[in-house]
Amino acid sequence: MEFPRKTFWTLTSMVAMVVGLEYAPELKHYVLLDWDDVDQVVEFRESRLQPREPIAEAVLKLKPGTGTVKAGVRGQVEPLSDPANSLGSFYEAIERIERGEEGVKVRVAHYGDSPTTADLITADVRNLLQKRFGDGGHGFYLIAKPWAWYGHRGVDSDSSGWDIEASNLTKNRDGYYGYGGVSFRGGPGARAKFRLKEAGYAKVEVAYRQQESGGSFVVEGCGESLGEKSTAGEAADGFAEFALDGACKDVLVRVDSGAVRLYGLQFLKPGSGVVYDSLGLNGAYISVLAKFLKAEHWIAELQHYEPEVVVINYGTNESVYAAFVDKVFEKELRETIRRIRVALPGKGILVMSPMDRGERNSAGQIETVPALQRLVELEKKISAQEGVAFFNTFEAMGGNGTMAKWYSSEPRLVGADFIHPMPGGAKIIGNLLYKGMLDGYNRYKTGKRLSEFANNVGGL
């Protein structure tokens, strides 16, 4: 019986693609098959689980029972799921950077709670994405420190003279807290100094609230005035942009007259690249995005900054309030997703679950807080129903009981509260999120090329 000609050429072409994707330099990021696993499949053996990166080695060292060394291996999980292709616009945008298009800025807005307040996790993801796809600049930074430990890797800051209102802490909320969820009121003498650890920035932009009795502020770069902006006028949000000499690393914002209300500023570099905004608030929970920020205000802020992806990374603080998890969390997560869709139709939404959170039981042993796993499953369910991406941080880091392992590891990966990661623990989470994004991107490119190939073959 003759082998069908069409089937023969289809199989031959597929084999050629697999080999080509492995060995053609220009196609090095399009991988269909991990050759290390071929002999394991043939011999029906368990995976040898030979991690190629130090982070994977650290995860395995803790023996969590799950992990992300290789998706598809028995006992492993693939933490980033996106069946509805919510991140498609993000992948398309970074592919434009890879193609060499000029002036492509790909922004990620990462909203979260206390770990991201100090740029933990987010700094590691930012660093990896920018190394791979280019550095578009540091992104958004609050005018002053709402908490002593607030800070971002790559920027030092010092400020004085500001009345600070964090959206999740102030009692008399008016809903206007900007992109970062905090507003700052100041008069003459209020100032904020910033020291960029790298040169090469071309622009600084200050976000403010315009008001009828508004005063003015001045922006300086390395001691030279970059310009002055009045905030007087009909109530509205505003953005003042100032050019920055590429060699300058010192920026000062000071109130020149009257009373002003500022939100924050962003630092951008010229050319294409990734901008990763770390938007964490200490003690934050999902209500910040669902209720505390006035809907039309936050929608307008999102539209100004235009992130390709909004990361919703809450759950740690909610996890010890079972009634909130069971009765409120779902409604507010869905409302947050709705608001983002109104602001950014067609852009990506990624729900990122909390890490494990531990507490000591009556026997003194560290165990996962009871409601946390229910919360993670709830986020997973809602993400699937809403058609948004979901990153299962809890399972990726090891699942139930991981904080006990992290606390007893050497060096220790989590603090004594069994909540906040040490820098080494944060780096593990950041690398796992980056790997999930990169795996998704590679699948996007591979699927796109296979579709183009199938269309071409079908036209022959």
Give me the pLDDT at residue 451, please.
78
Give me the pLDDT at residue 457, please.
67
How many whole angstroms separate alpha carbon 128 and alpha carbon 94? Answer: 13
How many whole angstroms separate alpha carbon 322 and alpha carbon 375? Answer: 9
In this prediction the pTM is 0.85
How many whole angstroms separate alpha carbon 261 and alpha carbon 183? Answer: 7
How many whole angstroms separate alpha carbon 351 and alpha carbon 315? Answer: 10
CA dihedral sign, ordered 89, 95, 100, 106: positive
Which of helix, strand or coil describes residue 30? coil
Nearest one of 275, 249, 279 to 264, comparing CA atoms = 279
**Residue 68 pLDDT > 60:** no
Give me the pLDDT at residue 201, please.
97
Nearest one of 119, 168, 392, 113 to 290, comparing CA atoms = 168
Give me the pLDDT at residue 448, please.
86
| Amino acid present at 271 | G
How many whole angstroms separate alpha carbon 146 and alpha carbon 159? Answer: 11
Q: With cut-offs at 50, 70 and 90, classify the pLDDT of residue 423.
A: very high
Domain boundaries, the chain: 5-42, 55-136+272-460, 138-270
How many whole angstroms separate alpha carbon 460 and alpha carbon 456? Answer: 7
Q: What is the mean pLDDT of residues 40-55?
A: 35
**Residue 45 pLDDT > 90:** no
What's the mean pLDDT when you consider all of the chain? Answer: 87
State pLDDT tens for residues 109-133.
999 999 899 999 999 999 999 999 9
Give me the pLDDT at residue 39, please.
34
Give me the pLDDT at residue 50, please.
35
Q: What is the mean pLDDT of residues 274-299?
A: 97
| Amino acid present at 345 | P
Angle between helices 5-23 and 423-458 (to 10 degrees): 150
State pLDDT tens for residues 328-340.
999 999 999 999 9
Cα 378–431–142 angle (5° rounding)?
80
Q: What is the mean pLDDT of residues 215-244?
A: 98
Record the tokens describing residue 366, joined without a space.
Answer: 């560290």
Q: What's the CATH number for 138-270?
A: 2.60.120.1360
| CATH 3.40.50.1110 describes domain 55-136+272-460 | yes
Q: What is the mean pLDDT of residues 296-318?
A: 98
Please give the distance of CA 364 from its chain centroid, rounded to a whole number.
35
Q: What is the mean pLDDT of residues 253-279?
A: 98
DSSP string, 229-274: EE-BSSSEEEEEEEE--TT--EEEEEEEESBEEEEEEEEE-SSSEE
User: Residue 305: in which H helix or E strand, if any?
Assistant: helix 295-305
